[in-house]
């Protein structure tokens, strides 16, 4: 080996070793980022399912409250008013309620 080429060869080998270490570090960072991305997707999916479930639960509560409010309202009205309200909602039956 040429004595003058030896330092250049040593520098080249050192640069290759440094590049390989850098490559391994980047691969590890990429692996970590991919895992974080996967975890974030799972969390988003869980949150969406939770939000949908909450919205369904709230819808059911609102329907129940509306039904209860309508029942209370109908209970407060006299029978003739309830029949009148029914006939307004269902005009084909209006003739039955005079």
Give the pLDDT score at 30: 97
What tokens does 7 get? 């330092």
Q: What are phi and psi of 78, to 5 degrees?
A: -65, 160
Residue 72: the pLDDT is 82
pTM: 0.50
Domain positions in the chain are 5-97
How many residues does the structure list for the chain? 98
Which residues touch 54 (CB under 8 Å, ≥6 apart)?
Answer: none
pLDDT in 10s for each residue of the chain, 98 residues: 566 778 888 999 999 999 999 999 999 999 999 999 999 999 999 999 999 899 999 999 999 998 888 888 877 766 555 556 555 665 555 555 55
């Amino acid at each position: 080996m040429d004595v003058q080429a030896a330092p250049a060869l040593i520098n080249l080998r050192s640069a290759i070793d440094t590049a390989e270490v850098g490559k391994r570090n980047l691969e590890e960072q990429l692996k970590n980022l991919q895992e974080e991305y996967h975890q974030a997707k799972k969390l988003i999916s869980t949150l969406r399912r939770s939000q949908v479930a909450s919205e369904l639960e709230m819808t059911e509560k609102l329907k129940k409250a509306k039904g209860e409010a309508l029942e209370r309202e109908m209970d407060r009205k006299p029978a003739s008013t309830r029949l009148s309200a029914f006939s307004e909602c269902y005009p084909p039956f209006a003739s039955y309620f005079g």
